[in-house]
Structure 1
Amino acid sequence: MKFNKLTFLVLFLLTLHSFSQEILTKKEALEITLKNNFGVKIANNNVEVAKNNSSILNTGFLPTASVISGANYSRNNQSLTFTDRNTGGDSQISGSGIVSKNYTTALGVNYTIFDGLGRKYNYQQLKETYNLTELQARATIENTYLQLFTTYFQIARLSENEKNLKEALSISKRRLKRAKYTYDYGQSTKLEYLNAQVDVNNDSITYITAKQQLSNAKRGLNIILGIEKETNYAVETEVDYNTMLNYDDLEVKTISNNSLLKQNEKNIAISEFNIKVNKANYFPTLSFNASYGFNRTENENLINPFGAKLITSDGLNTGLNLTWNVFDGGARKTRVANAKIALDNQEIALEQQKVSIKNNLKNTWENYKNQLFILKAQEQNVLSNQNNFDRTQERFKLGQITSVEFRQAQINLINAKTALNNAKFDAKLIELQLLQLSGDILNVKL
């Protein structure tokens, strides 16, 4: 049996042991999601339904054909009464169990020659509906893409924070060990030792909480991936930014490629065809029908000696039917008027959506630029706090500063690293939001 790469990857992830830590790359996560995610599966099925509906088999362009066949059997008692004109008297003959058999077979064909072009416009409307469903599926995939990497980068963020907190806990434990030695040998007060214990406990609680948050995030990612069995894996924490982004280019792409705007444009096209479909009802309908039939009747033991015992008939029948609903009480006029109003609403909604999306794009772009600036500032902040902590740690070992000052430097470093992680992954998520708005998110390099 042959397995492709994706199948192997899914099976591999499902069989990971709790003690293993395999790297789930962004590319692999995306491949698994597109294959297994429940929302994506439903969207793809909806596309298949729309494709079936837009087939010529569902438009009325093709003729219909039917075969009708039947057989009847009857067994009756019969009696005949005759009047003698000469004598004026009546005579009667009767019989029982008189059998009659009838066999019929017919093949009929019907075809609508002209219906005011209603079929044509309906077919085009179904095609636009199919295109709309494809755009809806694309929007679902884009949203799933963003949801996937929001959770993926949240795991990366929590993994980095856990690493930093684990390092901080190790430093606090070494400080506690040193405080115990100095207290045991009478070189410091018990207060120093107790403060070190409190800090270790606080760091332990913070570290355990971070681990729990990380586990919860991984379970959330499993749902997006469509994997039922809980797995233990690590994710990539490196982040690359698209340095080629330009606001003017993003704005042009957004107006032409944004999935929500494209859906609204398709809704307008569907509404336009809906008007034409309703107007087609003003015209007459011309249809053609043809049938070929065969009939056979057998009458046995007729009381009437002059009756036919076998009757057969066959032949071809054809005809044209013209139907024209001259006046229907104004229902057609009402439907056309409402269809025009629906079209007007769709056009208004499109303009409203354009204004809203442009505003969202502008806000997201400015937020993105600010976040990149914050990222640079936080990188420098971490360097400064790391340098300050290293110097403070040396002075603490020499007994030149108190444990309170040392702890403050440690907290400052932890906070700076956490802020850097937040800035790093927030900037990437905002970048993905920009790409989603511009319709380019599915083309981004991972």
Structure 2
Amino acid sequence: MIKGLFILIGMISFIQDPHLVMDEETVVSIALEKNFDLILESYQVVLAENDNTMGNAGMLPTIDLSGEARQSIQNTEQQFFSGDTQSRTAAKTTNYNAGVNMAWTLFDGLKMFATKERLEEIQKTNEYAFRAQVQNVLSDVMKAFYNTALEQERLALLQSTLALSEERVGISKEKYEVGKASKLEYLQAQVDYNTDQSALVRQQEVIARSKLALLQLLGLDTSDSLSLQYNYELNGLLALPELEETALQQNPDLQYLQSQREVAVLTTRERERELYPSLDFNLGYNYSNLKAEAGFLQSNRTNGVNYGLSATMTLFDGLNQQRAIQNSRIQSEYAMTAFEQAKMQLLTAIRSGFLTLKNSLTLVALEEQNLEVAKENVEIALERYRIGKSNPLEIREAQNNAVNAQIRHLEALNSAKIAEIELKRLSGQIIN
């Protein structure tokens, strides 16, 4: 592994008055705090944690308090078998009722324990999903950071090229004025200078858009000038076999799918235990007070405790329970297949990314050599042009070759860094 790869071109010198200066650590910290995707995903973690309770699993009793106060006004005409009669107008009847009742499931085929296990696993599933979201967001932020840095370096190269073109314009103008060069040569130098200016303007727009995209990922809304401080040093990754092993153990997307399969297994266990009978314990206290101005009773007051056991068992429900069990088993098999597919895709991505990293590092070494040659070639061409021993095409070609060599070198460095970030994401090491 090649370590300690730094940009040879001066960094971010073109920013005149930066208000916001960020390095890799800064953008990562801001993303963890303000990225909207992470904030939204964190709510799911909290919801799953809130749902993971003994009460939600059905292990705790339910206690209800009820009360009622009711009054009626009626006209009554009553005749009894004894011959007596009773007549009342606007007779009031007042009735008060109150009660406290508790219901507690003592046995449900152990379904409540399977439910509690499922709720715990769902909480883990959401935590894995959040961890995967963190990995993805940080990967996107870091890639956007270094891609923006690459565009900054392109701008620095274009500025350097423009300065060289400006110097060439000055030389050709002096040569034209003293009769050592034609006006066509002077005009061609001016055209090349204008072309370089246009490229610089377009590149400034590219950088502005890249920075806006980076700020959006960070969850920031600012119009301040943004300055990036960075280098392309590689932190050093494990060898390919160790990377594959680490990915299989730590990749949060894989852990998420594995947890989903466990949820499906526990759901199947819940469905199966619904076939068993359930036993509930009931306990209550009730109070009632009746007062009437007409009727058989003038007043009636009762209070007391009631308790008992109730057992239920579903004998036939149209085979819906069996259907639910079969569907849960299918979901479990589906989750297992999805896990195996994701594992194969993960290993393929790891191997592909490792190959990209190796090739990028090879290109870095090659382009470093080309870069030195191209720089020397420009210096020689400019000096030859200054003393009149070369033509405009020769210096322009040397100039373009130098710029292309520098860009290829930067792109190779950036490609290596992006490949490293992707390998860290796939192996679950970005958070580390």
Same fold (TM over 0.5): yes
1:99 to 77, 92, 96: 92
TM-fit CA distance, 1:82: 5.3
8 Å CA contact retained: 2:171, 2:386: no
2:248 to 255, 269, 276: 255
Report SS of the residue matched to 2:66: strand
Report SS of the residue matched to 1:56: coil
TM-fit CA distance, 1:21: 4.8
8 Å CA contact retained: 1:222, 1:230: no
TM-fit CA distance, 1:83: 6.7
The residue that corresponds to 2:6 in the other structure is: none
Question: Which amino acid is 1:256 matched to?
Answer: Q
1:238 aligned onto 2:227: no
Question: Which amino acid is 2:178 matched to?
Answer: Y
Report SS of the residue matched to 1:321: strand
2:102 to 90, 97, 109: 109
TM-fit CA distance, 1:170: 1.0
The residue that corresponds to 1:176 in the other structure is: 169
CA distance in 2, matches of 1:262, 1:82: 80
The residue that corresponds to 2:160 in the other structure is: 167
For residues 374-417 of structure 1, give each alpha carbon's deviation from its aligned partner in whole angstroms, at most 9, with x where no partner exists: 01111111111011111111111111110110010000001111
TM-fit CA distance, 1:308: 3.7
Instruction: For structure 2, list consecutive stretches of 5 or more residues without a partner in the other structure.
Output: 1-14
Matches within 5 A, 1:19-418: 19-81=17-79, 93-300=86-293, 302=294, 307-418=296-407
TM-fit CA distance, 1:356: 1.6
CA distance in 2, matches of 1:21, 1:410: 34
TM-fit CA distance, 1:327: 2.2
CA distance in 1, matches of 2:101, 2:84: 48
Instruction: For structure 1, list consecutive stretches of 5 or more residues without a partner in the other structure.
Output: 1-16, 85-89
CA distance in 1, matches of 2:282, 2:195: 88
Question: Which amino acid is 1:34 matched to?
Answer: L
- TM-score under structure 1 length normalisation: 0.91
8 Å CA contact retained: 1:122, 1:277: yes
Runs of 4+ in 1 over 4 A off after TM superposition: 90-93
Deviates more, 1:160-169 or 1:54-63: 54-63
Number of aligned pairs?
A: 418
8 Å CA contact retained: 2:283, 2:308: yes
Question: Which amino acid is 2:68 matched to?
Answer: G
The residue that corresponds to 1:5 in the other structure is: none
Report SS of the residue matched to 1:74: strand
8 Å CA contact retained: 2:18, 2:224: no
Deviates more, 1:138-147 or 1:92-101: 92-101
Question: Which amino acid is 2:401 matched to?
Answer: N
Question: Which amino acid is 2:346 matched to?
Answer: I
Question: Which amino acid is 2:121 matched to?
Answer: E
The residue that corresponds to 2:421 in the other structure is: 432
For residues 335-388 of structure 1, give each alpha carbon's deviation from its aligned partner in whole angstroms, at most 9, with x where no partner exists: 112211221122122222222211111111111100110011111111110111
The residue that corresponds to 1:441 in the other structure is: 430
For residues 157-186 of structure 1, give each alpha carbon's deviation from its aligned partner in whole angstroms, at most 9, with x where no partner exists: 011111111011011011112222222232
For residues 46-93 of structure 1, give each alpha carbon's deviation from its aligned partner in whole angstroms, at most 9, with x where no partner exists: 100111111223211110001110011111111123577xxxxx7755
For residues 225-251 of structure 1, give each alpha carbon's deviation from its aligned partner in whole angstroms, at most 9, with x where no partner exists: 111122212112311113353111101
CA distance in 2, matches of 1:134, 1:251: 22
- TM-score under structure 2 length normalisation: 0.93
Change (3 A) 1:92 1:333: closer
Question: Which amino acid is 2:67 matched to?
Answer: S
Report SS of the residue matched to 1:57: coil
Question: Which amino acid is 1:252 matched to?
Answer: E
**Percent same amino acid at aligned positions?**
26
For residues 309-334 of structure 1, give each alpha carbon's deviation from its aligned partner in whole angstroms, at most 9, with x where no partner exists: 22110000001100011222221112
CA distance in 2, matches of 1:224, 1:193: 47
Question: Which amino acid is 1:315 matched to?
Answer: G
CA distance in 1, matches of 2:323, 2:275: 12
CA distance in 2, matches of 1:243, 1:99: 90
CA distance in 2, matches of 1:331, 1:240: 61
Aligned Cα root-mean-square deviation (Å):
1.7
Change (3 A) 1:75 1:216: same
The residue that corresponds to 1:12 in the other structure is: none
8 Å CA contact retained: 1:18, 1:232: no
8 Å CA contact retained: 1:69, 1:104: yes
TM-fit CA distance, 1:261: 1.3
Question: Which amino acid is 2:130 matched to?
Answer: A
CA distance in 1, matches of 2:78, 2:347: 93
Question: Which amino acid is 2:423 matched to?
Answer: L
The residue that corresponds to 1:3 in the other structure is: none
Report SS of the residue matched to 2:142: helix
For residues 201-247 of structure 1, give each alpha carbon's deviation from its aligned partner in whole angstroms, at most 9, with x where no partner exists: 11001111111111111111110111112221211231111335311
CA distance in 1, matches of 2:247, 2:108: 41
CA distance in 2, matches of 1:200, 1:282: 84
